[in-house]
Amino acid sequence: MNRRRKHFHTFDALRFFSFLLVFLHHSPVPASSWFAYLSRSGGVGVVFFFVLSGFLITYILIDEKVSK
């Protein structure tokens, strides 16, 4: 009954970049810097984070159902 769950290391990196986009969106960034472009992409980070979370939750639920 002691099963190891599959860990998606790539998703950890994608979650980090999603977090980074949201963090930059909420940071005071000079308008002339290249960070300004990234800071305007905060909404994309939020949407991507939710899509990724939905996938992982669904994966875990399906895995639990199959294992029972």
Tell me the per-residue pLDDT of 11-42, one tens digit each, with 9 for 90 and over. Answer: 888 989 888 888 888 888 776 777 777 777 78
How sure is the predictor about 3, in pLDDT bands with cuts at 50, 70 and 90?
A: low
Q: What is the mean pLDDT of residues 4-10?
A: 77
**Cα–Cα dist 45/22, whole Å:** 6
The span from the CA of 22 to the CA of 35, in Å, is 12
Mean pLDDT of the chain: 82
pLDDT given at position 28: 81
